Amino acid sequence: MSITDAGNSVTRVNSRLSGFRNLSPDQRRKTVCHAAGLTEQDATMLRGAGALPLTVADGMIENVIGTFELPMGVAANFVVNGKDYLIPMAVEEPSVVAAASYMARIARGCGGFEASSTSPVMRAQIQVLGLGDPHGSRVRVLAAREEIIAQANTRDRVLVDLGGGCRDVEAHVFENTPVGHMLVVHLLVDVRDAMGANTVNTMAEAVAPIVEKITGGSVRLRILSNLADLRVTRARVRLSPESLETSEFSGERMITGIVEACALAIVDPYRAATHNKGIMNGIDPIVVATGNDWRAIEAGAHAWAARSGRYTSLSRWERDGEGHLVGTLELPMALGLVGGATKTHPAARAALKLMKIESAQELAQITVAVGLAQNMAAIRALATEGIQRGHMALHARNIAILAGATGNQVQFVAGKLASEHDVRVDRAREILAEMEAGEG
C-alpha cells in the first residue's frame, strides 16, 4: 500500500508483496501500480503492448520496420539505504527476477542493502598525433586548463546552470604506439542526471581547435570513454547465518560455500566471466527497462573488472569477525534520467516513475544493489544444490510452450517437468500427448 507523506506528494512504497508470483500478469501490474500510486496511463505503458508507437520508434533509430518486445517483470522486496523499491526488469531469461526478489527478501530481514555513489563525472578523450614533443605538449595543455574548461562549458550552459559542467583536464602521453607518440587529453565533466555521452562528445569537439593550437599536433578522435572510473557506485549487504539457513543447509555452510565460490572467480578469469555475467543478469534488465545504454554499462563493467591487468570478479564475498556474510560490489555506473530513450520511450518513463527515482545516482545505487542480489542468488545455488535445480524449474514454462502447450496446459506441463527434474521438449510433448489421450 502506498503512503503519502503529510505536506508533500512523496509516495512511499512497501516492496514486500506477499503472494505476488501467484497473481496473473494483469493482477500483478495493478498491484504494483497501486502500491506506487501510478496512473492508469502508467499502467498501460508498463503493460508494453503498443507502448512504443512506430512513429516514435522511427524517430529513435534508423530503418525502423517494427518494435521488439521483452518480458517486463518487477523485482519485489528490495530495501536500499532504508527505502523500499519496486524494480522493473526487462529480460528474457527465466529465474532472474525470481532470484533477485528472493535474495532481496533475505537481505530485507537483515536491514537491506547499503549503496553509495561518487559524483557523476564522465571522461571525454581527445587524441592528438604528429607531436615532436609529446611531454612538452602535455605540460602546455595542463597550463591552459582554465581556457580549455571555459571553452568546453560554452557548449552546455543548461548543464552548468544545474551545477554540472567541465571540472578538470588531464593529459596522458603514450609512447611508441603503432602510429608513433600520442597525447590524449581528457575532459572530466560532471553530467548531473544525464548519461552524458552527447554532452562530453560535444565538449571534446569544441575544445579540439584549442588543443591543436596549444600542441601543434593534429586532433583525431574526440569521444567519451565508457570506462567511467570516476562515476563509481558501490553496494553492500550483510547477512546473518540464521537468515541463510535452509532445511538442507546450515547458515554457516551457506556462507562457506558462497565465500569459496567467490574465491574461484577472484583468481580464475574463466570463472570470473560467468560470475560477472550473473551480476549483469541483475543490472542489464534495469538498464534496459529505464531506456539507458546497457552496452555502455557492460563495456564499463568488464573494463573495470580487468583494470588491474587481469580479469577478475567484480564482487567480493567475505565472512566478517562476527561470522556474518558480507557482500560488496563496485563498478562504473553511467546511468541517466534525462536524454535519449529515458525520455523518449513511454515505458521507460513509466519504469522510472514506478521506482520513484529522484536522481541518476539513486538509480545507479538501486541497479548495483540488484546486481549484488543476483550474484548472491547464483553463487548460493552453485555452492549448494547446483544452478540447474532452480533455474530449470523456472525454465520449464518455456519448454512447455515450445512443446506446444497453451492456456492451462502450460502450468500443468511445466509443473510435471519440474517435479520429475526432467525439463526437456520431448518429455513435454509426451506429457501433452498423455493429456490429449486422457481427454479423448
- How far is the C-alpha of 389 from the C-alpha of 404, rounded, in Å? 23
Q: List phi, psi (to 5°) of 11.
A: -105, 120
Which residues make beta-bridge pairs with 223? 125
Q: Single out the catalytic residue among 277, 298, 343, 430.
A: 277
- Under the phi-then-psi rule, with left for phi > 0, alpha for psi from -120 to 50, and beta for the rest, what region is 99? alpha
Q: What is the dihedral of CA 372, 377, 382, 386, to 10 degrees?
A: -160
| Catalytic annotation present for 93 | yes
Tell me which long-range contacts 405-409 makes (C-beta under 8 A, separation of at least 24): 405/432, 409/435
Q: Single out the catalytic residue among 93, 170, 245, 252.
A: 93
Give the 3-state secondary structure of residue 66: coil
Q: Is residue 96 a contact partner of residue 373, using CB atoms and an 8 Å limit?
A: no
Give the 3-state secondary structure of residue 279: helix
- Helix or strand holding residue 227 (H, E): none
Report DSSP state, residue 225. -
Q: Single out the catalytic residue among 345, 391, 395, 416.
A: 391
| Catalytic annotation present for 277 | yes
Cell output for 139: 605540460
Give the 3-state secondary structure of residue 63: coil
Q: List phi, psi (to 5°) of 118.
A: -80, 180
Report DSSP state, residue 5. P
Dihedral of alpha carbons 408, 410, 411, 415, sign: positive
Give the DSSP per-residue string, 155-190.
Answer: T-HHHHHTT-EEEEEEEEEEEEETTEEEEEEEEEEE
- How far is the C-alpha of 187 from the C-alpha of 211, rounded, in Å? 12
Residue 286: C-alpha distances to residues 72, 189, 197, 351 (Å) = 10, 25, 19, 9
Q: Is residue 291 a contact partner of residue 344, using CB atoms and an 8 Å limit?
A: yes
Cell output for 353: 516513475
Q: Single out the catalytic residue among 293, 302, 353, 395.
A: 293
- How far is the C-alpha of 428 from the C-alpha of 412, rounded, in Å? 10
Which residues make beta-bridge pairs with 237? 327
Cell output for 134: 609529446
- How far is the C-alpha of 401 from the C-alpha of 432, rounded, in Å? 11
Q: Is residue 158 a contact partner of residue 338, using CB atoms and an 8 Å limit?
A: no
Q: Which residues are catalytic?
A: 93, 277, 293, 391
